[in-house]
Structure formats: C-alpha cells, structure tokens
C-alpha cells in the first residue's frame, strides 16, 4: 500500500512537471509572460527587434532636444553607474555608437524587458559573455526608454 | 529519469523518517499514515497554499512559514535587534526600538493576529505583542516589515494581546503583572498588592486607511493577572473577553498562592459602552509616558515620539461596563466560536472544559444574577452563564480553535494531546498525541467567522527526541495535522525559531499579490538619498562627516574616501540604486561597532561609524549581488586628528599623490 501511494505521488509530480520545462529557466515573471506574447503574435524571432513590446519606433531625422534632455536625466539616475558615454566599457559597454549597432526597438526592448532579452536574445547574450554582469532590470518606463534612446542619438552626434 | 530517481529517494526518505518514529512510545508511527509525505510535499518552484505567521517567543521576532511544507520563508524582526537585517542598528531603524525606558534591544513576542474585516482575515497587517516591556507592533504585510510599535503605560507583562475586534477597530493589550499606575507613587511595599496594584487593559484603535495605532482608552481593573483574551464576533461583536488568574491577589510564590481558589474569572467587557463613556467625556486624563514609533517607506526611516497622556476608565465606577464570571482553575485561553455564541474557557489545571453562552451571559446581566462583587465589579453566577462542560477531555486545557464543521480543537498541555469535540453536544470525537506538551494551537482561519478546516498546527513546548540532538537546547517543534477528515492526522514536524506561542494561518492568495518588490527611487524622501551617482558626495560639518553613497551591481560610489580623521563621527547614507526585485545590497566596514546594513532596492539606510584608529579601513557589499560581487568594495583612509589630509572621494579614479604623510 505504501509503495502504491509513493508511486501515485510520484506520478502526480511527474505530471505536474511536464508542462513547465519551458518556463522554469526564467528568473522573473515578466520573462515568461513576455515570451508567451511573442510566440503568439510573432512566431519567428527577430534579432534586430529583440524580445519585448516595441516593434516600430518612430524616430525623427533630426534630434528632439527636449526628449534627449529628459533621457539624460534618466541616464544620470539609472544608467551612469555602469555605462560611459564614450566607447569604453565600465560594467556594461560604453554607449558611443550604440545607435549604429542596434535598432531603436532592440535598445528599448532591452531597457524595458531586460531579463527576457538576456535569456533569449543572441546579441544580448554575447554581450553578457563579455561583461558577465546581467544588466539589472531598472524598471524603466516606456517613455523613459524612448527618451534614453534620444539621448543616445545625441551622444552619437545626431543634431 | 534522474529527476524521478531523486523524487523516489525523497519520498523514500520521508517514509523512512516517519517509519523510524514508529519505534517511539505513544504510537507515533500509527499516527503517521503513508500518504503524509504527499500531503506536505510542495514541489520545487511551487508555492505553499498558506502563509503561517508564527510568534518568535523569546526571540522577539515573528517568523513566516509556508504550509503545508513547513518551509521557513522569512523572519521578520520586530522587538529584537537583528544584525542580519540592520534592524535596530541602522540610524533609520533605531527609533523603532525606543521606549520610555530608552532603547530596548530585546523582547518576547507571544501572539500574532492578522487584521480582520467582517470577522475574516483581510491580509493587510499582522500584530504582535511584547510581553516584557509592554508594546504592540504592527507589521505591514506588503513589505513584511514592522511599520509601527506603540508602548503601553500602566502595564506590566503585556500578555493578553494583541487580540483584535472583528473589523480591526481595536487591538487590545492586557497586563499580566498588575502594577501601581504610572502616575502613582510606585515606591510601595510589594505586599501592598491588594491596595496599590492595578490591572490595566488598553484598547488601541487602528485607522482603517493606513493602520495607524493610537491608545483610544484604558480600563483600570482590579489587580489580578490578565492572561488571554478574545473579541466577540457576530452576535457577540461589541464585547471582549479576558481570562485572568491570581484573583487571590498573591504577590509571591504564585505557583501555590495563585492556585488556591477553585475558580478564577473571565471578564466580559462591553467595549461599545466604553466608547460611549469616552465620547461623553467620562474618562480621566492621566499623565504618563510612552513611546510611539512609526516607520515610513517613503522616508525609509522611523520616528519615535514620546506621548504623555491616556484616558482611563476605572471599571468600578461604571456598573454596566465589565462583568466577571467564574471559570475553573486558573483559566488561560478564552476562545470565541465562529458564530460568536460560545466562549470556551480553559483552566490550566482543570480536567474539564467549560463552555459559556453569550446569550445566557446577556440574560444573566439583565437579571442581575450576581453572586457578589470583586473590587466593585459584579460577579455573575457560574451556572447562569454556563452552556455546558466538556467532560473528561484530558488534562490541562489551554487553547481552543474551531473548524468549519462545528468542531472545536483544544490543546491539552498536561496530557500532551489535541482533543476534537463537538461545539453543540460537547462530546469528544477524536484525540491525537502531540510531541510533546502542546501549548498553543492554530487552525487555518480558526479564530475567524469562516474557518478553513484543512490544517491545524500544534506548537509544542518540549522537543526531546523529535530531531537530531543539538546539545542541551533543541529548536521547538511544530506539528502539522490534516483535519479535513473525521480523524486528525499528523503529517509533518518542523522546527521553529525562538519559542512559538500563537500563530495564524492565512490563505496565500490574500497576501502574495500585494507583496512589494522594490521601492521606487522617485518616491524616496530620505533626506540623505542620493538620486544617482552624480548626487553622491562627502560633506564635513565640524567633526561630523556625511557620506552620500550609492550601491549598484557591482560598485559603491564613492569607493575611495580620504580625509576622515580620528574623532570624526561618520554617517554612511547608502542608497541602493537597483530597481528590481530581490537585489538588496549589504554594507559593512571593518571594526564598525554596529551591524551591516541591508539595503533594499530604491532604499536609503545609514550606518554610523566612529573610526577607532589611524589607517586604511576596507568596506564592502555583504549580500552577493552579481558575478563581480567580490569586486564591490572600497577603502576609507583615517588620518590622525588635526592632520591636513584633504577630503577626497571618488570611484574609478586614482588621485595623484597628494599625500601629506609623504611629506614627513
């Protein structure tokens, strides 16, 4: 009787584990829910766009200086600890030229959906291999991410 | 396949474990059935169904377990310092442990109550009592942190606390050690107990919107030992019941002298009536001194205010406020059934359990069915209030909780068992042994209007052979019983911290969704907050140095500080710049005569340091934060008093040699 109970109990656990393998790697709730979205809406992963809510970002030809200034403020609180404005690596890579290396959507997805990107995106993972510190999720609001992108453009010489 | 093997091993070792207990006396083996392991198994990554908030007893803290797994989830520091969390060591938390006696680093937390609305848990706050230096604490269940502590004047040994009314209108506190009132001359012979000592009951109001506590009024009662209490609910809402012993009013060798009478009392308090008297201005303003401490999650710091007045009603002056009814043999628990109809008294030294009827109580009061007075308070006739007695339940009943099927569960200390009985016909239907000598017990929702009849936990006083020996002291054992069936079934032992007394079992769904993950930097109003690394600085004001520092994976800013001198008083205000869940940073300095700081994301905490010698002092992050955690360090240079080492601070910069020491 004991044996049967244990077997049954094991069976229950095995069944419970079956559907879960996919999700278990993520460290945060957002990563699993976000990947669900992409699988539904966008089956083929686009490494230029990355993982997250941003797809097409409207970027003006000229710089929006007000937005860039707002981005600089966010940078001062949430980013400067790890990112220099030159090309030099601190904890994370320097920002000079970042807008040439990545699309606006990719950058904004990385800023707002950090854990999912680190778990899935090849370019983010390649960067992690160099830096070895997972970029913290700094809970950056959507409009702050856009402002940061504008600040990056200013840093890259866009006028 | 490997996983399954592990599971099998785990399951086997469970059954082995329980198999071994079969050798113990008292038929422990037969008490554990083969499906016990499955019932308590919560798979890795899965959540428990219930939070179990458990008093830490003489640790002074409150612990949180998951049920049915019995896994320890968190120890919440409340009345005792906790160096691990910087509680009572950081400048921001020190005021929380302030009292009218000054800073008190320890207490004894006995009972836990989770806030209620309509007689059911609402999961907003947990309350705990300090038994030694009388206080009540409120813990915020969104942060799992102590948010408020209020001290109780005119009190000694706050034991019958922090029991609450059905809408958390009041938290009560009753004094176990009667003492002369604070405004009286306390310099009296101890054997003048009968004349000079008073028992005080405090009604602490709780603000609906934010939980803020305030002593609404106190009842001055005869000098006795108030033991436990429960609010009425449902039909008895508006009343409160307090058990007491030592109606002999002995002041020495209570073991013998407070056990002389066959019956002591339970005091019924009409608190709605008390409210009316207070509103009508009948209370006496008494000048006292007590601390009220509040922690803010916006300033990330506590303030302590000394208050100087309470309003007191002397119960002998109000004939319709309090009534005593006899209860056999030094009553301990006085627990109220889910409908509020029955009050179960438990005489520690009794061999029966009296059950009182609220309806009969009301009738007896209306008929003035008194057998006398005790210090001016009317005593009702035992038989007039009694609903019936549970005969031969066992020895030494202590506490009773209830399920959703009309049964009551009473812990029996002397005969070391839990007894299940029917509330209506008072017949015992089941009993199970505990290992050993159960004190409190708790049923999921067992003190609410709607108990969940799934689990019962017994908190045992004696552990002996339940765990691997660990020297003279063993951790106290809790035992989980499945009470969903007809027979109670022991399914798990788990060790606890301190000495647990009362506890609450609350559905996880009520609480987990409200849990705070980090503090928003935008809302940080700590006066020493650094809003980003650019805001960091070191400021000298005379011999006071304020270091505005930040921590983020994986460096401190500034991490090189020079120009500190002997005799300086240095305050490190560390802001954690992270904005993600579960990324605290720690902070410690060599030789600092304090604890570490443990700073939550978005929070600012302050460590005070008095350098004790000239030289270089390392500092570092103590909470592993990233692959470069070992690099999260820095140095402080301490120079002799009066030296002219310039004040310098930086991160990522090596200053040119400006070293005054070199010039020598």
pLDDT tens digits along B134-187: 999 999 999 999 999 999 999 999 999 999 999 999 999 999 999 999 999 999
DSSP codes joined into one string, A57-91: ----SS--HHHHHHHHHHIIIIITTTB-SSS-BSS
- B383 lies in a domain? no
Alpha-carbon torsion (B360, B362, B364, B367), positive or negative: negative
Chain A residues with beta carbon closer than 8 angstroms to that of B581: 28
DSSP A134: P
Query: In chain A, whose CA is at the least distance from the CA of B15?
Result: A2
Is the CB of B627 less than 8 angstroms away from the CB of A132?
Answer: yes
- pLDDT digits 0-9 by tens, B502-551: 999 999 999 999 999 999 999 999 999 999 999 999 999 999 999 999 99
Check residue B485 and give its pLDDT.
95
Rounded distance between C-alpha atoms, residue B607 and residue B596, angstroms:
8
Check residue B656 and give its pLDDT.
62
pLDDT band at A2 (very low <50, low <70, confident <90, very high): very low
Is the CB of B38 less than 8 angstroms away from the CB of A80?
Answer: no
Given a cut of 60, whether residue B13 has pLDDT beyond it is no
Average pLDDT over residues B234-261: 93
- B181 lies in a domain? no
Spatial contact of A148 and A71, defined as CB atoms under 8 Å apart: yes
Chain A residues with beta carbon closer than 8 angstroms to that of B553: 82, 91, 133-134, 136
Give the rounded distance of the alpha carbon of B251 from its chain centre: 29
Burial letters for B588-608: b for 16+ Cβ neighbours within 10 Å, e otherwise? Answer: bbeebebbbbbbbbbbbbbbe
- B592 lies in a domain? yes
Is the CB of A138 less than 8 angstroms away from the CB of B580?
Answer: yes
Q: Is pLDDT larger for residue A31 or for residue B630? A: B630
Count: domains in chain A: 1
- pLDDT digits 0-9 by tens, A49-108: 999 999 999 999 999 999 999 999 999 999 999 999 999 998 899 999 999 999 999 999
Check residue B180 and give its pLDDT.
97
Chain A residues with beta carbon closer than 8 angstroms to that of B15: 2, 6
- Which of A26, A138, A140, A145 should we substitute to test contact with B (largest number of B Cβ atoms within 10 Å)? A138
Mean of per-residue pLDDT scores for chain B? 93
Average pLDDT over residues B408-429: 97
Go through chain A and tell me how many residues it has.
Answer: 159
- B569 lies in a domain? yes
Is the CB of A136 less than 8 angstroms away from the CB of B532?
Answer: no
Q: Which CATH number belongs to the domain containing residue B600 in this structure? A: 2.60.40.420
Lowest mean pLDDT among A15-24, A95-104, B210-219, B648-657: A15-24
Given a cut of 70, whether residue B552 has pLDDT beyond it is yes
Nearest residue to B323 (alpha-carbon basis) of B399, B222, B173: B222
Rounded distance between C-alpha atoms, residue B630 and residue B632, angstroms:
6
Nearest residue to B127 (alpha-carbon basis) of B19, B202, B45: B202
Measured CA to CA in angstroms, residue B63 lies from A56, B21, B430, B497, B563 at distances of: 49, 27, 30, 7, 43
Rounded distance between C-alpha atoms, residue B550 and residue B471, angstroms:
44
pLDDT band at B350 (very low <50, low <70, confident <90, very high): confident
> In a 3-state reduction of DSSP, which class is residue B9?
helix
Spatial contact of B145 and B76, defined as CB atoms under 8 Å apart: yes
Count: domains in chain B: 2
- A117 lies in a domain? yes
Is the CB of B579 less than 8 angstroms away from the CB of A137?
Answer: yes
Structure tokens at B539: 């400021």
Is the CB of A137 less than 8 angstroms away from the CB of B554?
Answer: no
Nearest to B553 among A8, A78, A133 (CB): A133
- A25 lies in a domain? no
Containing B271, the helix (H) or strand (E) segment is helix B271-279
Given a cut of 80, whether residue B11 has pLDDT beyond it is no
Query: In chain A, whose CA is at the least distance from the CA of B601?
Result: A138
- Extract the runs of DSSP E, i.e. beta strands, from B318-396: 322-328, 331-336, 342-347, 352-357, 370-374, 377-380, 386-391
Check residue B655 and give its pLDDT.
65
Q: Say if B577 is an interface residue toward chain A (CB within 8 Å).
A: yes
CB-based burial label for B307 (10 Å; 0-12, 13-18, 19+): middle
Is the CB of B534 less than 8 angstroms away from the CB of A80?
Answer: yes
Give the rounded distance of the alpha carbon of B119 from its chain centre: 20
Chain B residues with beta carbon closer than 8 angstroms to that of A139: 518, 520, 579-580
- B64 lies in a domain? no
DSSP bridge pairs for B74: B64
Q: How many CB atoms lie within 10 A of CB B177?
A: 17
Q: Which CATH number belongs to the domain containing residue A66 in this structure? A: 1.10.760.10
DSSP bridge pairs for B433: B417
> In a 3-state reduction of DSSP, which class is residue B255?
helix
Is the CB of B628 less than 8 angstroms away from the CB of A91?
Answer: yes
> If phi over 0 gives left and psi between -120 and 50 gives alpha, with beta otherwise, what is residue B85?
alpha
Residues 384-443 (B) with a CB less than 8 A from some CB of A: none
Nearest residue to B586 (alpha-carbon basis) of B611, B617, B620, B555: B620
Query: In chain B, whose CA is at the least distance from the CA of A11?
Result: B4
Alpha-carbon torsion (B505, B507, B513, B514), positive or negative: negative
Q: Say if B39 is an interface residue toward chain A (CB within 8 Å).
A: no
Check residue B349 and give its pLDDT.
86
Average pLDDT over residues A118-127: 94
Structure tokens at B584: 């605290």
- A129 lies in a domain? yes
- B608 lies in a domain? yes
Domain assignment of residue A133, given as a range: 59-159
Nearest residue to B405 (alpha-carbon basis) of B459, B453, B469: B453
CB-based burial label for B633 (10 Å; 0-12, 13-18, 19+): middle
Is the CB of B554 less than 8 angstroms away from the CB of A77?
Answer: no
Average pLDDT over residues B59-75: 98
Spatial contact of B407 and B390, defined as CB atoms under 8 Å apart: no
Query: In chain A, whose CA is at the least distance from the CA of B627?
Result: A133
Given a cut of 70, whether residue A6 has pLDDT beyond it is no
- A6–chain B nearest CA distance, Å: 7
**Beta carbon pairs, A and B, within 8 Å:** 89
Check residue A43 and give its pLDDT.
55
Domain assignment of residue B654, given as a range: 521-663
- A17 lies in a domain? no
Spell out the residues 6+ positions from residue A8 whose beta carbon is closer than 8 angstroms to its own.
Answer: B38
- A140 lies in a domain? yes
Structure tokens at B510: 């009520």
Given a cut of 70, whether residue B471 has pLDDT beyond it is yes
Spatial contact of A60 and A99, defined as CB atoms under 8 Å apart: no
- B293 lies in a domain? no
Given a cut of 60, whether residue B49 has pLDDT beyond it is yes
Structure tokens at B303: 């303030």
């Amino acid at each position: 009787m004991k044996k049967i109970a244990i077997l049954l109990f094991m069976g229950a656990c095995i069944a419970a584990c079956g559907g879960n393998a996919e999700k278990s790697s993520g460290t945060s709730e957002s990563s699993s829910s976000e990947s669900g979205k992409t699988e539904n809406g966008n089956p083929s992963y686009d490494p230029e766009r990355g993982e997250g809510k941003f797809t097409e970002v409207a970027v003006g030809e000229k710089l929006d200086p007000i937005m860039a200034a707002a981005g600089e403020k966010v940078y001062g609180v949430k980013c400067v600890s790890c990112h220099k404005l030159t090309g030099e690596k601190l904890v994370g890579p320097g920002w000079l030229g970042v807008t040439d290396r990545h699309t606006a959507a990719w950058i904004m997805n990385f800023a707002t959906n950090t854990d999912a990107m680190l778990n899935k995106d090849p370019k983010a993972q390649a960067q992690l291999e160099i830096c070895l510190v997972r970029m913290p999720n700094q809970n950056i609001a959507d409009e702050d991410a856009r402002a940061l992108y504008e600040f990056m453009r200013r840093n890259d010489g866009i006028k | 396949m490997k996983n399954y093997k592990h599971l099998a091993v785990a399951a086997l070792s469970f059954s082995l474990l329980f198999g071994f207990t079969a050798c113990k006396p008292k038929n422990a083996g037969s008490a554990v059935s083969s499906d016990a392991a499955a019932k308590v198994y919560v798979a890795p990554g899965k959540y428990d169904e219930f939070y179990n908030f458990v008093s830490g007893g003489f640790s002074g803290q409150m612990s949180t377990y998951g049920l049915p797994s019995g896994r320890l989830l968190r120890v919440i520091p409340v009345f005792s310092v906790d160096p691990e969390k910087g509680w009572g060591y950081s400048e921001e938390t020190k005021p929380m442990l302030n009292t009218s006696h000054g800073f008190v680093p320890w207490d004894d937390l006995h009972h836990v109550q989770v806030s209620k609305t309509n007689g059911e848990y609402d999961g907003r706050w947990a309350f705990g009592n300090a038994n030694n230096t009388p206080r009540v604490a409120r813990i915020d269940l969104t942060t799992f942190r102590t948010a408020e502590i209020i001290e109780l004047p005119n009190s000694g040994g706050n034991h019958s606390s922090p029991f609450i009314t059905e809408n958390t209108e009041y938290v009560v506190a009753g004094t176990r050690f009667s003492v002369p009132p604070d405004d009286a001359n306390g310099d009296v012979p101890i054997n003048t107990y009968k004349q000079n000592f008073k028992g005080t009951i405090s009604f602490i109001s709780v603000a609906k919107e934010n939980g803020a506590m305030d002593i609404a009024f106190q009842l001055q009662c005869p000098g006795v030992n108030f033991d436990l209490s429960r609010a009425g609910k449902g039909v008895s809402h508006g009343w409160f019941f307090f058990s007491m012993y030592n109606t002999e009013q002995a002041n020495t060798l209570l073991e013998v002298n407070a056990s002389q009478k066959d019956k002591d009392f339970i005091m019924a308090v009409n608190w709605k009536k008390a409210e009316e008297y207070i509103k009508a201005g009948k209370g006496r303003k008494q000048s006292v001194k007590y601390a009220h401490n509040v922690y803010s999650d916006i300033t990330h710091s506590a303030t302590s205010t000394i208050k100087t007045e309470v309003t007191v009603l002397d119960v002998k002056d109000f004939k319709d406020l309090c009534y005593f009814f006899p209860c056999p043999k030094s009553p301990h628990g006085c627990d109220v059934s889910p409908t509020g109809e029955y009050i179960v008294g438990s005489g520690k030294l009794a061999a029966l359990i009296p059950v009182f009827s609220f309806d009969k109580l009301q009738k007896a009061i209306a008929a003035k069915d008194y057998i006398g007075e005790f210090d001016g308070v009317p005593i009702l006739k035992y038989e007039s209030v009694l609903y019936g007695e549970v005969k031969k339940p066992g020895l030494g009943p202590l506490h009773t909780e209830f399920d959703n099927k009309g049964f009551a569960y009473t812990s029996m200390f002397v005969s070391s068992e839990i007894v299940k009985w029917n509330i209506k016909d008072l017949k015992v239907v089941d009993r199970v042994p505990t290992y050993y000598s159960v004190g409190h017990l708790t049923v999921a929702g067992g003190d609410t209007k709607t108990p969940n009849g799934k689990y019962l936990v017994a908190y045992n006083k004696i552990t002996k052979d339940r765990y691997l020996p660990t020297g003279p002291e063993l951790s106290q054992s809790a035992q989980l019983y499945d009470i969903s069936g007809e027979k109670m079934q022991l399914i798990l032992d788990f060790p606890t911290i301190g000495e647990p007394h009362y506890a609450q079992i609350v559905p996880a769904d009520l609480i987990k969704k409200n849990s705070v993950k980090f503090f928003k930097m935008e809302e940080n109003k700590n006066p020493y907050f650094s809003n980003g690394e650019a805001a960091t600085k070191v400021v000298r004001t005379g011999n006071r140095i304020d270091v505005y520092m930040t921590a983020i994976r994986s460096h401190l800013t500034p991490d090189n500080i020079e120009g500190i001198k002997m005799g300086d008083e240095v305050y490190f205000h560390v802001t954690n710049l992270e904005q993600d869940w579960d990324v605290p940073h720690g902070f410690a300095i060599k030789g600092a005569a304090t604890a570490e700081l443990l700073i939550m994301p978005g929070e600012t905490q302050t460590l005070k340091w008095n350098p004790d010698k000239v030289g270089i002092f390392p500092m570092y992050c103590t909470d592993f934060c990233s692959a470069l955690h070992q690099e999260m360090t820095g140095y402080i240079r301490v120079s002799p008093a009066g030296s002219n080492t310039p004040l310098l601070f930086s991160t990522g910069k090596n200053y040119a040699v400006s070293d005054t020491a070199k010039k020598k």
